[in-house]
Amino acid sequence: MLFLLQRLFKLNERHMFARPIYLLILLLLIFTNSNANPPAKKIKTTPPNIIIFLVDDMGLMDTSLPFAVDGNGNAIVHPLNQFYRTPNMEMLATQGTKFTNFYAHSVCSPTRTSLMTGQNSARHKVTNWIKSEENNKTPFGPKEWNWKGLDKENVTLPRVLQANGYKTIHVGKAHFGPYGSEGEDPINLGFDVNIAGSSIGQPGSYYGMEGFGHIAGNKARAVPGLEKYHNKDIFLTEALTLEANAAISKAKEEKKPFFLYMSHYALHAPFNPDPRFIDNYKDAGMNERTQAYASLVEGMDKSLGDLIEHVKKLGLGENTIILFMGDNGSDAPIKLIDNYGSSTPFKGKKGKHWDGGMRVPFITSWVTPNQKNKGQRKIPIGSNATQNQIGTVIDVFSTVCEISSTEMPEQYITDGFSLTTQFNGKENKKRTNEFINHFPHKHRSSYFTSFIDNDWKIIYHYQIKKAPKYELYNITNDPFETTNLAADNPLKLNEMMVKLEIELTQMEALYPEKGEEMLRLIIPQQ
């Protein structure tokens, strides 16, 4: 074809009279060629349905599925794994991929805001849990911290998915803003449907007979919008599951892809025993409150199984991906001894600066795995796979955007990485293996910043009343943070502190304040 075109356009002057004929031939050749090689048709695939299954206060050890591994990456079963019963988590991991080094912020509102925005708490400034009634700054907390949470102007995961044609469904705990704020109602943040979500961070009661707090229990934390279950013998976890399944069915009827943010109030206090499962723990050697907590865990696991079964019955399993995770370390009522307890063998728990406060379960899988499915070939997930490279809640935003082929707004800043490469058990060499947990407030651990960088972790304790304190751990060799190396390795401590200062400065982080003084990092000399 190219040769003929060249010949036709190299006519000399004495053939000018014949050019109309050559032009006609040229047009015929172009037409014939275009029909012989029509443009390839794009194969249209149905956007995948996406479920984020978020469990409140679920730490790494609150499950029969082992997440702790040895130096070779092999799973180790610890005593707490033998206490809990989570068969559906085990099933999900068998057919998908579990992450053994997945991090969240150490309390709930920072994690939930990071999940919604793809930003670290140091950037979005929701650095403490949001108290519904008032500013929870605490004595030396930064005055400008974002205690009002998310609003209508924020870029959020449901909002960008909504713009991409998704039916966005919120079920359960929200905790995105205080009373009277825009973030109090998830509808303002991009959800089409809100079931039982409000400002509250815990339920007034788990019992339908108590109206989930409206009839009895803590009325200040009564769960809204579930009136049809009041005075009925039903547990909150079950009611939320029924509502989630109904919302999925409706989305299918509307022929829309759905994004379900299934955010259970369990496992948060009050530790009301789930009567369906409490007898399983009577002889387990734990106190009654811990037995009740275990029944909450098993009830949550049943919800996971029921949700998966419902999606399969609707014929949506091959086109539905699920991301299972906790929002911070465990808060199981197990007594701490030398700062080991509910997260043992990991140190600390919810609200603490060690890994027991920050490491959480993460599992991903297609609801019905099928390697021949085109959508699943696009986002492949390993079978019975283990991912030991770091992942964080901050990565979820970018991950879901990639899964759904959703574009983020131009110039929008995210701090995370897509996890899709890691879903198949592979290492993502383009990401940084870092995580910052910035907490400039008073709580179980007060006024600190934890920073993980590959094999190393530092914890900086701000100079509230005396000189700053430093902790340095090699978490590859010492995952349970038993030996503080700060005094023995000043070069590594200095290197980590310099890097942390650069990161916090780049995110315009806020620091604890003493009077009018902002207590910035003090980097020790080498």
The per-residue DSSP string of 223-247 comes to: PPS-GGGTTSS-BHHHHHHHHHHHH
User: Beta strand 97-99 with 434-439: parallel, antiparallel or unpaired?
Assistant: unpaired
Residue 488: other Cβ atoms inside 10 A: 10
- What's the predicted TM-score (pTM) here? 0.91
DSSP label at 165? T
Q: What is the pLDDT of residue 45?
A: 65
Contacts of 116 (CB under 8 A, 6+ apart): 150, 154, 156, 157, 158, 176, 189, 397
> Which pair of structure tokens corresponds to residue 113?
């805001």
Q: What is the pLDDT of residue 13?
A: 38
pLDDT tens sequence for the chain (526 residues): 433 344 434 334 333 334 444 444 444 444 444 444 444 444 456 899 999 999 999 999 999 999 999 988 899 999 999 999 999 999 999 999 999 999 999 999 999 999 999 999 999 999 999 999 999 999 999 999 999 999 999 999 999 999 999 999 999 999 999 999 999 999 999 999 999 999 999 999 999 999 999 999 999 999 999 999 999 999 999 999 999 999 999 999 999 999 999 999 999 999 999 999 999 999 999 999 999 999 999 999 999 999 999 999 999 999 999 999 999 999 999 999 999 999 999 999 999 999 999 999 999 999 999 999 999 999 999 999 999 999 999 999 999 999 999 999 989 999 999 999 999 999 999 999 999 999 999 999 999 999 999 999 999 999 999 999 999 999 999 999 999 999 999 999 999 999 999 999 999 999 999 999 999 999 998 7
How far is 330 from 56, CA to CA, in rounded Å?
A: 9
Cβ contact 111:150 at 8 Å: no
| Nearest Cα to Cα of residue 206 among 266, 295, 246, 292 | 266
Cβ contact 97:65 at 8 Å: no
How far is 4 from 73, CA to CA, in rounded Å?
A: 63
| Helix 87-95 × helix 288-313 angle, to 10° | 50
How far is 476 from 133, CA to CA, in rounded Å?
A: 42
Cβ contact 296:237 at 8 Å: yes
Identity (one letter) of the amino acid at 418? S
Residue listed under structure tokens 């759904």: 404
Residue listed under structure tokens 């009827």: 253
| Nearest Cα to Cα of residue 343 among 47, 36, 84, 10 | 84
- Residues listed for the chain: 526
Residue listed under structure tokens 């401590």: 493
Residue 387: other Cβ atoms inside 10 A: 26
How far is 293 from 268, CA to CA, in rounded Å?
A: 9
How far is 128 from 105, CA to CA, in rounded Å?
A: 10
Burial environment of residue 461 by CB neighbours within 10 A (0 to 12, 13 to 18, 19 or more): middle
How far is 418 from 423, CA to CA, in rounded Å?
A: 10
Sign for the CA dihedral angle at 263, 266, 267, 270 comes to positive
How far is 70 from 74, CA to CA, in rounded Å?
A: 5
Contacts of 134 (CB under 8 A, 6+ apart): 178
- b/e burial code for range 79-102 (CB count within 10 A of at least 16 → b): ebbebbbbebbbbbbebbbbbbbb
